Amino acid sequence: MTARPIHPGDVLRLTRAAGPQFVTPITVRVIREVKNQHTYHGWTWIEAYELNAAGDAVAKRELFVLREGLHRLAMPLRQATPARGTNPTPVR
């Protein structure tokens, strides 16, 4: 079975299935897959932003993961809010 390709922007939940270092699961948004590093069969390096519960990036990480253990998530885009101090034009 071949794992799906990893694309920039993918949101992944990393658990013990993705590697023994993920005893406490984390959620990340992929920046890129690092293709120029040699790894064991089925494993890969990714650069990603670790996300908090609100979906905000809190740390940039480089992670060694098992492709078959990646859980993809569908993260909804948050609605933009007006900047402070601005008065949005009412819709009539």
| 84 close to 22: Cβ distance less than 8 angstroms | no
DSSP string, 16-72: GGG-TT-SS-EEEEEEEEETTS---TTEEEEEEEEE-TTS-EEEEEEEEEEGGG-EE
Tokens representing residue 13 in the block: 């939940």
Give the residue carrying structure tokens 């900047």: 83
Task: Give residue-wise pLDDT tens across range 15-73.
Answer: 999 999 999 999 999 999 999 888 899 999 999 999 999 999 999 999 999 999 999 99
* Contact in structure between 32 and 12 (CB atoms under 8 Å): no
Q: Taking the model in full, what pTM does it have?
A: 0.76
